[in-house]
Amino acid sequence: MSLVRVVSVAAVAVAVVLPALAQGIPKAQSPEEVGFVATRLKRLSDRIEEGVRNNELPGAVVLIARNGKLVMFDSFGFRDKDAKAPMTNDTIFRIASLTKPIVSVAAIILMEEGKLTLADPVSRYIPAFADTKVAVEKKKQDGTVEYELVPQTRPMTVQDLLRHTSGLTNGAPGANQLKQSYLDMKVNDRGQTNAEMADKLAKLALLFQPGTTWEYSMSTDVLGRVIEVASGMPLDKFIEDRITKPLKMGDTGFEVGADKKARGAKALKPGSIPDVTEKFTWRSGGGGMVSTAADYARFLQMFANGGQLDGVRLISRKSIDMMTANALPPDVKMGGGDLGPLEPSARMGQGFGLGFAIRLDQGRSPLPGSPHDYFWAGSSGTYFWHDPQERLYVVWMVQLTDQPLRARYRALVRDLVYQALIGN
């Protein structure tokens, strides 16, 4: 049995996972049935195998669906290379920022129930944000920088949290005083509650006036606290009751039980990504969840179906339309995020919706795709995109901490999926 591409184990894993998938995502009889060429898809398999052999990847799972049918659902390499445990299709991954679309859907559910509106000020749910000031950078004659704190010209809104125009940022050592203050305040402390995290952030200055600048940030973490206040439930409980249970995403949550520990994926660097069974007090709406390729496919199939799956409707078709449209104002400035070709910007032909990036134009981006496809990625290496024009979505699950390699493999997977798509 090959330990690079574990064909026999993968076949068993498909048999295990597909009963839950089959209600909404049947398997295509062949790739050609839905417009792919099998020999061309092999280029993708070969390239992933090469990455495992070269010790770039520990292992990975790739799932491709088109026209509501599975085209490819394969495992490569190792779930745990040190233990020589082969990757299987039911492996559980820390999905990092692939948490954000799930939490964004949770907010939309509450919007549809009249428990919040996207125009609401965040201070309606977290009063401390009413007094949060904005830092305006001023350079002194000697070249040093100081900050003047000024009031918000208009309140930060729930929509700002969803589209990352809140004025919040992420901590980064040495970047500037504001980003350093996030580290000093320990806003990512895994022992805190969402309420404590939000109160810490409200005491820190905003980097920009709300609504003026896109900056990849802790906005979705704050959104998680808004969801708790609006729903009267802990974030993890709300997501379980309203999203993962209805969609039969049985391996998705903020951790899994000890009985599933053996199915957890490991990165090449031991300890660089927490074990999937490790439980943290902080239920990070921006990056705290675990999932499988099959579970995340069910989430995306719900989007593909206009908000419902297997007779269960989560949100409306019009809400899907709103989430997947560019939500950035035409005069918005672009801050930062270090996301490479995933970075939303007009120059790259990309904007941002409510929870993920949106492609606006056919060209400009170095990644193939279609106008109106949407996508996001996690710092643990995970990645998805949904191309409604081609009736296609892809889930890429890996635990990879090397940032350049993460970016390269996201591009490679896109390139090699689209080169295999020949038919309409």
Tens digits of per-residue pLDDT, 298-339? 999 999 999 999 999 999 999 999 999 999 999 999 987 666
Three-state secondary structure call for residue 219: helix
Q: What is the pLDDT of residue 303?
A: 98
User: Residue 309 and residue 322: Cα distance in Å, rounded?
Assistant: 19
Q: What is the pLDDT of residue 415?
A: 98
Q: What is the pLDDT of residue 24?
A: 56
**What tokens were used for 259?**
């009985």
What is the pLDDT of the chain when averaged over all its residues? 92
User: What's the whole-number mean pLDDT along residues 94-114?
Assistant: 98
Are 296 and 384 within 8 A, CB to CB?
yes
Residue 7 reports pLDDT greater than 90: no
Residue 210, phi-psi category: left (phi > 0), alpha (psi -120 to 50), beta (remainder): beta
Distance from the first to the final alpha carbon of the chain: 36
Work out the angle at residue 177's Cα, subtended by the Cα atoms of residues 141 and 283, and round it to the nearest 5 degrees. 165
Residue 210 reports pLDDT greater than 60: yes
**What tokens were used for 185?**
């305040």
Are 389 and 5 within 8 A, CB to CB?
no
Q: What is the pLDDT of residue 171?
A: 93
Q: What is the pLDDT of residue 339?
A: 66
272 lies in the same domain as 409 = yes
Q: What is the pLDDT of residue 14?
A: 36
2 within domain boundaries = no
User: Residue 100 and residue 102: Cα distance in Å, rounded?
Assistant: 5
User: What's the whole-number mean pLDDT along residues 346-367?
Assistant: 90
84 lies in the same domain as 115 = no
CATH number at 195 reads: 3.40.710.10
pTM: 0.93
78 lies in the same domain as 160 = no
Q: Which of 197, 231, 265 is the last residue before a domain boundary?
A: 231
User: Residue 324 and residue 227: Cα distance in Å, rounded?
Assistant: 20
Q: What is the pLDDT of residue 2?
A: 41
Residue reference for tokens 């952030």: 201
Share of the chain above pLDDT 90, in %: 84
Identify the domain containing residue 385 by its residue range. Answer: 7-94+252-418
257 lies in the same domain as 394 = yes
Q: How many domains does the chain have?
A: 2
Q: What is the pLDDT of residue 94?
A: 98
User: What's the whole-number mean pLDDT along residues 94-117?
Assistant: 98
Residue type, 193: T
**What tokens were used for 58?**
């520990």
Residue 88 reports pLDDT greater than 60: yes
